[in-house]
Structures are given as C-alpha cells and as structure tokens.
Amino acid sequence: MKRAVFPGSFDPITLGHLDIIKQSIPLFDEIIIGVGTNSEKKYMFSTKKRMTFVEETFAQYKNISVSQYEGLTIEFCKKIKADFILRGLRNSADFEFEKAIAETNRKLSGIKTVFLLTATKTSFISSSIVREIISNQGNYRELVPSKVRV
C-alpha cells in the first residue's frame, strides 16, 4: 500500500492545496492530510477550525483522512507508516526551498518526497495571501474550497 502525507498548516486550505491533493489521488492508495501545529507560529484559525475546513472539504473521499500533528513531519510519517511526503510546487522558488527539505528528510529517514505542480489557475494562491485578504475583509471565496467560510 502506498501511503502519503500531505503536510501543512492549512491556515486556511486553498484551491492550490485542493488541486495538489486531487492530482495525487490516482498515485497513492491512501493520503493523510497532516495539519501541523507549531507553538512558535501565530495562526489565524485554531487547529480545530483548520481541521474542520480540511475534513469537510474531503469528506466524500474514502482514501483521504486528516490528522493533526506536532513536531517533525518525518516523525509523523514514521508513526503512521507513510512511505511518501507529498508537496506542491507553485514556482521555482518553492522548488529550491522544498528540495532542501526533501533531501534532508530522505537523508534522515529514507522517506521520499513527491512533488506535484499546481495548476496555472491556482499557482498564485497562498494561505498567507488569503489570510491578508480575510484580515482586510476582502473577497477570499474564489481562492478557497467552499467549506472555508469565515
């Protein structure tokens, strides 16, 4: 069984995340969306709310589950026996950043990272941009799944 973890803070989940996860469905038997928490980071949405957004977005998919975790992604992967880490790439800057993390993870754990490119129509979307729009009472709805409502 091929099990992958798609880690992130999902603060909030965006259409870019949705695109990557939908692309990965035929590649893996099981996908665990890992909603990470970092005590040093300030989130717009609580862990519970972020989990709810993701769970509701993927409720109809039998091979997708959502789990909260803290600490290193590779430790979470080991704990749940995941073989792969799934990451989305929007641009070349993402690639350079993600490549260094992927190589480190592989060196420390043997877990491979699979990169998928976001669709052009969602490649400009980031959670930080969405948070900024929400903070300023802008129209964020075209950038996130329908289950994300503030």
Angstrom distance (rounded) from CA 56 to CA 146: 9
Instruction: Select which of 9, 17, 50, 87 is catalytic.
Output: 17
**Is 22 a known active-site residue?**
no
**Is 42 a known active-site residue?**
no
Whether 140 shows a pLDDT value over 90: the answer reads yes
Q: What is the pLDDT of residues 47-72, one digit of tens each?
A: 999 999 999 999 999 999 999 999 99
Domain count, the chain: 1
**Is 65 a known active-site residue?**
no
Instruction: Select which of 9, 39, 41, 87 is catalytic.
Output: 41
Quick one: pLDDT band at residue 39, thresholds 50, 70, 90? confident
Among the listed ranges 34-48, 97-111, 124-138, which one has the minimum average pLDDT value?
34-48
Q: What is the CATH number of the domain that holds 59?
A: 3.40.50.620
Q: List the 64-70 sheet strands across, edge first.
A: 64-70, 30-37, 3-8, 84-89, 112-117
Residue range(s) defining the domain that contains residue 64: 3-143
Residue 49 within a domain: yes
Instruction: Say how far residue 35 (Cα) sits from the centre of its chain.
Output: 7
Residue 150 within a domain: no
- Residue 32's pLDDT is 98
Residue 129 within a domain: yes
Instruction: Say how far residue 2 (Cα) sits from the centre of its chain.
Output: 18
For the segment 85-108, the average pLDDT, to the nearest whole number, is 95
Residue 148 within a domain: no
Quick one: pLDDT band at residue 40, thresholds 50, 70, 90? confident
**Is 41 a known active-site residue?**
yes
| In contact, 147 and 133? CB cutoff 8 Å | no
